[in-house]
Amino acid sequence: MPFPGPVSLPAYQPHYPATTPTQLVPRTVQPVAPRTPVPAPKAGLTIRPAIDRHFLHLQQLLHIFPEDRKWLVAPMQLLNSKLSAGAGIHIFVDASNILIGFRDKLKYARTQLFDLSFDSLALLLERRRPVARRVLAGSSRKTSPLPFVDAFITKAEEVGYENNVYEQVYKEKELTDRQRFFRDVDRIGYKAAVARRSGGESSDSETGAAAVTPAAPSPMKWVEQGVDENLHLKMCQSILDADEPATMVLATGDGAAAEYSDGFLAHVERALKRGWTVELVSWKQQINGGYTKKKWQAKWGAKFKVIFLDDFVESLIET
């Protein structure tokens, strides 16, 4: 007996009455709407050979930055040594922030932890525009070097970046004022933490609100020291030394105050106030909320732009 072929069923029409009333269908087989949203499956990354990856990267840049096509297709790339301090863009790279964001992105995609291609990152940052200054700051640990960090820093030096690499130190990491405040909120409550900062600590102590066991010191760990501050200094030097305002390209998502400085966000604002254009290049998960506030972006308009590295992650994978 031949097997019957597929049978076409009429499409369901919502305005027709159901064949079987819902109340006659057992609850165990009735469709139930999920109570919590189901997350979409994680999109995998496409790993390409180097030539294909480079070609895709250039196509992306030409498409996303049409204003820079004249530089991207130029036969000759201008050399850093031939430009005065105000004749090109000024690039600053926070190596640790960019590398951590890249590896987090790969972990989320559940793919192999490839190295980050610095030359592809440099092309994204520079887009073959004239460059007045290239600066990278990062850290290393001689007792326990990380190959992917060393490769990143070495390539940066090879393509002309001024490298400022500091040895990590083993210490108790200093908390920022914000971190100290929320630590106090956990220990003594919100009102007491606010009162402590408004001069009301003595009255709290009398009532016992603040008379609690002192917080345990933070555990000792290997941390960076002076890396962010070095970039802050270099940014200020460019602002002061340039003959006229130029474009600053800052590769980081950090905006919080540093240990010995008021942070990248404050320095970006210093540049903007003095007429500079700033391009912030960051990972979406790494960017400080201060950069994305509508009030902040409306204040500076076209003078401030955010470029998300997430859109270029496949081009940044070293193959």
* 248/294 same-domain check: yes
pLDDT along the chain (319 residues), means of 10: 50 47 48 46 77 94 95 68 67 95 92 92 95 91 84 92 84 67 74 73 42 58 77 95 95 85 92 97 94 94 96 94
Overall number of domains in the chain:
2
Query: What confidence score (pLDDT) does residue 43 get?
Result: 57
* 201/312 same-domain check: no
- Which of 92, 134, 86, 80 shows the shortest CA–CA distance to 275? 86
* 87/127 same-domain check: yes
Q: Helix, strand or coil for residue 156?
A: helix
Q: Is residue 40 part of a domain?
A: no
Pairing of strands 169-172, 220-223: antiparallel
For the entire predicted model, the pTM comes to 0.73
* 148/109 same-domain check: yes
Q: Is residue 17 part of a domain?
A: no
Q: What is the CATH number of the domain that holds 144?
A: 3.40.50.1010
Residue 99 structural domain: 50-170+223-316
* 57/198 same-domain check: no
In which residue are the tokens 């609100």 written? 209
* 143/281 same-domain check: yes
* 54/117 same-domain check: yes
Beta bridge partners of 249: 91, 279
Query: What confidence score (pLDDT) does residue 16 get?
Result: 44
* 75/191 same-domain check: no
* 88/158 same-domain check: yes
* 160/121 same-domain check: yes
Integer angstrom CA distances of residue 274 from 134, 239, 245, 278? 20, 8, 7, 11
* 133/184 same-domain check: no
Is residue 170 a contact partner of residue 187, using CB atoms and an 8 Å limit? no
* 240/287 same-domain check: yes
Query: What confidence score (pLDDT) does residue 39 get?
Result: 46
